[in-house]
Amino acid sequence: MATDPRIRPVSAADLADLPATAARERIGDGALRAGEYAAACLRRIRAREPEIAAWVHLDEAHVQRQAEMLDAYRATGAPLGALHGVPVGIKDIVDTADMPTENGNALDAGRRPERDATIVARLRSAGALLMGKTVTAECAYLAPGKTRNPHNPAHTPGGSSSGSAAAVASGMVPLAIGTQTGGSVIRPASYCGVVGFKPTFGLIPRTGVLRTSRRLDTIGTFARTVEDAALLADVLAGHDGHDPDTPTAAPPRILETALTEPPVPPQFAFIRTPAWVDVDADCAEGFAELCDALGGRCDTFDLPTIFNEGAAAQRRIHLAEFAYHLRPYQAHGADRLAEETRAAIAEGGTITTVDYLTACDWRETLYAGLEEVFERYDAIITPAAPGEAPVGLHSTGSAAFNVLWTLTGVPAVTLPLLTGTNGLPVGVQLVGRRHHDGRLMRTARWLVNMLTAS
């Protein structure tokens, strides 16, 4: 049996691999200083950043000053926040008052926001150490950034939250923030071999985050464990009066629920979405083995043909709103934007009002069909991506296995449970019912533990 990482001694050499949940406990108990943890992460960054290029802004002196302040605060004996001393990477479309936020594009080079995004303010209140800004695809769309896959730098890390996924996968930070409008959390998490969590739409506020689609943009979390991803989501979640899509109800206790045992073993629906035609052969084989391992706890079926409308509807909404929100960039410097961004704005501008509103109607129509699935099953199992990360850095890969869940606003989490023929990770995506994020993460934790034990 493996030793519990929360209680075993951790050497300076592997301190950067300490999970966030374990680190916050040790810092709270006085067994670890925030400065030690940050220093270990900085050593890892120095060692791996030249190859991976996960960061667009990182100031070691600023990191050290934060750590000193956090250790000084702990010495006062005052109550500590949920992430006291834990380093977090921030996707570079999220405003930070003490660091540049450049949105991955040349037009925003050197941009310094006047105030923090709501989620950054919540991180500070929780005592998190803001390590720096991670690379994003331009304007959180398709033009790749400089980041490479930590498992093989010849392969894409995915996108658009490429830097966040790669930074967590390589042990540079235990936690990072990303965003998803199509597949920008789940896909890079799959390619980089980490846990990626996209919560229910609206659970985490987007005030101070580059807006590309009001109806689709979702804040997500990256971590190396289900528990850590839930911990970060708990800190970020909750109503924000400046984001009308956030619920007014009290935020769910995702980690608390995730740490409980299911009352009965979960039931899974392995669903072949319309994207299944694009799945790699080894990925299909891996999911067949996973379903066999679950035995009677997993049923397999295809979605009705009406779900074929989902991808097109998501694309229309995304591009129409992308063109609307990013028109100032097009007007003031189109020649400095990547071809992918210019093409998206141009296509979005051709979508008619009728087509756009019709696409919006599909959101609730398709979710009603999913509700019938969730009446019988705890979670849907489906690939997070067609397979391993593709070779090359010219593309961020396919979001075909993500867009339906983003459109319908359901929570999704990818787990690094499979490996492809090239030795690269392949994620298993679990999808849950809206506003049942804690239950989804509990089911995810059960699945990881079950497969680990077997």
Catalytic residues: 91, 160, 184
Burial class (CB in 10 A: 0-12, 13-18, 19+), 65: exposed
DSSP annotation of 31 reads: S
Q: How far is it, in rounded angstroms, from Cα 334 to Cα 399?
A: 25
Tell me the H-state helices in 338-436. Answer: 339-348, 353-374, 403-408
DSSP calls for 396-415:
----TTTHHHHHHT--EEEE
**3-state DSSP assignment of residue 386:** coil
User: Helix, strand, or coil here: 383?
Assistant: strand
Detail the DSSP E strand segments found in 101-174. Answer: 129-134
Tell me, letter by letter, the H, E, C secondary structure of 310-324.
HHHHHHHHHHHHHHH
Length of the chain: 454
Distance CA 320, CA 275 (A): 23
d(CA 224, CA 233): 14
CB 93 within 8 A of CB 181: no
3-state secondary structure of 301: strand
Rounded-to-integer distance, Cα 429 and Cα 386, Å: 11
| Rounded Cα distance, 33 and 26, in Å | 8
Separation of alpha carbons 444 and 451, rounded Å? 11
Q: Please, what sign has the CA dihedral across residues 230, 236, 238, 242?
A: negative
Sequence-separated (6 or more) residues with CB below 8 Å from residue 434: 200, 201, 367, 408, 409, 410, 411
Residues 399-421, buried b or exposed e (16+ Cβ, 10 A)?
bbbbbbbbbbbbbbbbbbbbebe
Could you check whether the bond before residue 213 is cis, i.e. omega within 30 degrees of 0?
Answer: no
Chain-centre distance of CA 124, in angstroms?
Answer: 20
